[in-house]
């Protein structure tokens, strides 16, 4: 199967490689000519056979809107656009409507896997019309982890990104819980091997998880996270999750508190935020701020 892929950064570049390893043809475009297969979006579209499938993997907001607008002028009826970035689900509905007028299909895909996706596969939460989603199953199957799990057609347009947003909100709360526990263990005098306490939780406990494994990785690199500044960004999806909870009158005290804890990191060198920053770097390759 052929796929056009726009955006070859930390995730997009690895996604191109994983899809190619599954035997599909991927033509990638990026503003960086060193990683791009073509020189322009027009050339990318020209090299694809109809019906074309073009996956957009660029930052949410203006960048995604600009690319989708340009694709709307380049593609033809019967083609399909997939937005795999972290777009807000309400934008999906607008994109689907604008492209639909031109006979172009639209699918939104929430993608989780970060810098580990090439090796482990990507969890995919997909929204869109069944006919458009089914056409793309070979690509989804190439990207997902091996085995029966890791892919879901979550519902109509917007359902994929909404599901990924909630996933990220849960991720906020889980990371915050690990960070708070780590700080408390570091604080008391009776515990003198916090890293090994975390390591002991990796088997046989109800709180074992991949995030816990990544926390141990981070502590192996810097046992007390002394080289990190206690500052962690919020990607936007945590905010959107809380806003959606308010709109739907759904109580989310843990997720909301974890979002506000990120804001606390703007004010001082928070020990908890050192762990949050370390975890974000481990699973997503997100930048950290070093001391000094």
Positions annotated as catalytic residues are: 164, 171
Query: Could you please report the per-residue DSSP string of 214-252?
Result: HHHHHHHHSTT-TTB-S-----SHHHHHHHHHHHTT---
Query: Could you please report the per-residue DSSP string of 111-159?
Result: EE-GGGHHHH--EEEEES-HHHHHHTHHHHHHHSPSSS-SEEEEESTTH
The position carrying tokens 């390759």 is 285
Is the bond leading into 180 cis (omega within 30 degrees of zero)? no
From the CB of residue 97, how many other CB atoms can be counted at a distance below 10 Å?
A: 11
The position carrying tokens 């007028």 is 101
- Distance, CA of 32 to CA of 8 (rounded, Å): 8
């Amino acid at each position: 199967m052929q796929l056009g892929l726009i955006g070859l950064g930390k995730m997009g570049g690895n996604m191109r490689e994983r899809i190619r390893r599954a035997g599909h043809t991927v033509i990638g475009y990026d503003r960086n000519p060193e990683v791009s297969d073509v020189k322009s979006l027009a050339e990318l579209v020209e090299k694809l056979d109809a019906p074309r499938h073009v996956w957009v993997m660029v930052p949410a907001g203006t960048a995604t809107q600009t690319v989708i607008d340009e694709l709307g002028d380049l593609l033809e009826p019967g083609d399909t656009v997939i937005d795999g970035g972290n777009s807000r689900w309400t934008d999906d509905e607008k994109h689907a409507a604008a492209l639909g007028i031109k006979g172009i299909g639209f699918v939104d895909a929430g993608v989780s896997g970060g810098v580990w996706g090439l090796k482990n596969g990507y969890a995919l939460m997909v929204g869109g019309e069944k006919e458009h989603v089914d056409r793309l199953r070979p690509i989804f199957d190439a990207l997902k982890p091996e085995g029966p799990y890791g892919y879901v057609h979550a519902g109509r347009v917007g359902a994929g990104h909404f599901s990924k947003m909630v996933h990220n909100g849960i991720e906020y709360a889980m990371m915050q819980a690990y960070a708070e526990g780590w700080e408390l263990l570091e604080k008391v005098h009776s515990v003198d091997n916090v890293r090994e306490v975390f390591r002991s939780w990796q088997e046989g406990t109800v709180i074992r998880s991949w995030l816990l494994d990544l926390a141990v990785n981070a502590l192996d690199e810097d046992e007390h996270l002394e080289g990190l500044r206690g500052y962690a960004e919020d990607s936007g999806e945590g905010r959107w999750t809380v806003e959606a909870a308010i709109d739907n009158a759904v109580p989310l005290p843990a997720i909301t508190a974890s979002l506000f804890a990120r804001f606390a990191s703007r004010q001082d060198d928070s020990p908890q935020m050192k762990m949050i920053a370390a975890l974000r770097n481990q699973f997503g390759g997100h930048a950290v701020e070093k001391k000094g």
